[in-house]
Amino acid sequence: MKIAIVTETFLPSTDGIVTRLTACIRWLLQKGHDVRVIAPDLGVYEFEGAEIKGVPARTLPFYRSKQFALPHPLVKRYIEEYQPDIVHVVNPALIGFSGVRAAKKLHYPLLASYHTNVAKYLDYYHLSPFKGLIWWYFRKLHNQADLNLCTSKTVEEELNEHDFFNVHVWHRGVDTAMFHPDNDDAAVRNRLTAGRPQQKLLLYVGRLAPEKEIEKLKHVLDESDEFSLAIVGDGPHREALKQHFAGTKTVFTGFMHGQDLAKAYASADVFVFPSTTETLGLVILEAMASGLPIVAAKSGPTCEQIEDGKTGLLYDAQIEGDFTKTIRRFEDEMLRKRLAVNAREDIQELGWAKASEQLLTLYEELAGIHGESKTSTQSKQQLT
């Protein structure tokens, strides 16, 4: 197949969306399919044989730590030149608007995938009154697709409630070969604990933004001398977080990738995930694959991945102090070790093949249906 993927974010950016996309694209290429990526122009023009067509990118006033591509006629030109069998628009919003519009205008089958709950994020930026408008906009884009994918059953139910059409869950996946407990590294642990390797090391990995609620972790460090914290990632909230955690046992590493990131996971003791706004939280799966027990907010997506008391501990975000109380349960080393073993065992067979196979099946079905419809229309036109 010839597959055109239009995405708001791609390499060299790093997040759960990029991780999922690169894993599935790699699998598709290995199976002999042709993939072309249309993404913000960030200086990367090839990924393991897949061509990346760049669209001019710029920073936006409300998010200066990342570059975005606005709607642009280049998207239509790239799709038209490529003549794909299917167009997949990932998280349609800005450049994705052009992807949806081009696919419909050029009459290509269209799949859209939903990865970010922007409406929930608005609460953290004092923009709650615009939630209705945001839902209207994303519904309008997604409902032009022949099929919509999301990353959890909970999100599927929410999208259905907001009248999104034909929504299905895209299977979860994680690279269980890269993320493995055997990547434990004493030098990395020493760095992440700022020379205090005997401390229990809490690890956060992800975008540094207000909606991630990372500030909650300071209460743990204030209440207990047993923990150190490593924060891996970057984002618009980094400087504010550095000020917030000043004077605590906290290390900010910036972005980490590949084997360095795998070592960071495996060298920590507990993975902490305070956010209540995630649609999946791929970092949870990476941490579990690395043999880390999880502390996360009790929500639909986290309950789909974490068995409370077996692979991690879930806290109630509505109860003040419950996050700190839940993390401190890992002062019990026996509990931590038991949940760590269970976390790895729970997903050690997961991989990315199932999610990639599902995606290809959907591509083939949509392309086939679209082809039959096109042939039928042409036949009717010939008869008349």
What CATH superfamily classification does 181-347 receive? Glycogen Phosphorylase B; (3.40.50.2000)
Adjacent-strand bridge partners of 7: 90
Residue range 221-244, pLDDT digits in tens: 999 999 999 999 999 999 999 999
User: Do 2-173+352-383 and 181-347 fold alike per CATH?
Assistant: yes
> Is residue 254 over pLDDT 60?
yes
> Is residue 383 over pLDDT 70?
no
Task: Give me the percent of the chain exceeding a pLDDT of 70.
Answer: 96
Amino acid 66: pLDDT: 87
What are the boundaries of each domain within the chain?
Answer: 2-173+352-383, 181-347
Q: Looking at domain 2-173+352-383, does it have CATH number 3.40.190.10?
A: no
Nearest to 7 by CA among 115, 96, 138, 78: 96
Nearest to 311 by CA among 346, 276, 259: 346
Cα gap 305→308, rounded to integer Å: 10
**Segment 180-184 long-range contacts (CB within 8 Å, at least 24 positions apart):** 180/262, 180/266, 180/289, 180/290, 180/291, 181/266, 181/290, 181/291, 181/340, 181/344, 182/266, 183/259, 183/262, 183/263, 183/265, 183/266, 183/267, 183/290, 184/263, 184/266, 184/267
Cα gap 206→109, rounded to integer Å: 33
Residue range 157-209, pLDDT digits in tens: 999 999 999 999 999 999 999 999 999 999 999 999 999 999 999 999 999 99
Instruction: State how beta strands 147-150 and 86-90 pair.
Output: unpaired
Amino acid 374: pLDDT: 56
Cis previous bond, 73, omega within 30:
no
